[in-house]
Structure 1
């Protein structure tokens, strides 16, 4: 009985010891879990800090990248603007150069026209008007019409004088004077009227040519060719022969010299 009680006591002591160890193990386990949780919390906190730092760096990199993209886009826009400005400047320069060339060409053309007008005006003032007047006065049609008019006027005037003298004779002698044998008849009055009609409506070929020339832009050159043609010198037979001999002698001397 004592032995059994002793064993029971030992067992109870062992159980108590085991319980103590179990409790210690439990305490150690809880402490280990606490330390582990604390370490995990610290590690998680550190990871959170690291993640936050990485996020911050990432955001900074993104912001920097966006800033670089903005700067790059701005530089690209600036380059495009500079290129467009240069292109517009070149186009404006080309337009200005073209306009200047047009102005210069117009000035040259205008100056040429002015010089031509001055030359034509001087020719008209110095020679043209006189030439036109002489061409009219010396026209064959004018000479013929004036000659016919003068002859008809002279004949009619002769008849008028004859009749006037006959009238004075009749008054002096008191008798009628026979005028039928006068060579001038009433028909000559009709001829004079016809001559006046022809003269009043005279058409000169030179004036028709000048009038036609005035319808063109080069009227002055056309008029000059009509009323003031360039003078040509006609050589006599002796001068032509002398000129031909001179050429022949020159050729002969040249051949002999060679």
Structure 2
């Protein structure tokens, strides 16, 4: 993506995140909704989760710039940040939650968007490497040599909550399914073993150990089913102790 378009996308991500994170009293219903997915204040900050309110905050915040610089307005319309009608321009992402996707170096490359009435979509649907949580999991990949590939962002945060006592979270969500590009990147990041929940893994000529487990209907059940397969026994024991601490072992 061109740098100027990426810069605009970062502007929107930062604005929507700041509004949600720094104005909790104005967004109590949104905070309550996220809490149902085990998304807490620390998660909102760590993953830069944002929310675009119905009052078009991007248009209001950058009103003077959009009026002064027609090229900026055109770029925002073209990118899909703004929409235009007879009533004027407004935010195109109104009433949606934004879950930014960063690469292992922390560079934004896509956004997973959740709309209450319509569900999930990707801001850039053509992006082959559509992964949520990659930046935050990179250290954990190399630390324990393991990656959990989870099917949904909601599962991701429940899973994270379950293994929180370990201090490690080697999990990501493959938003377009698992592909060879993702597997190759994980291998480069030091992953030796992959456990995928309810997802197919394409064939890959590699020494990477891949295990596919069916979805048992709950994140806890999926995690318990995966434990016997973990090559890293230290991490396995940490999870078991963590579940015991939570009284759900």
Range class of TM-score, shorter chain:
under 0.3
**Relative to total residues, which structure has the larger strand share, 1 or 2?**
2
- Length-normalised TM-score, structure 2: 0.16
**Relative to total residues, which structure has the larger helix share, 1 or 2?**
1
- Length-normalised TM-score, structure 1: 0.16
Work out which structure has the larger RCO, using CA pairs closer than 8 Å and 6 or more positions apart in sequence: 1
- Greater Rg over alpha carbons, structure: 1
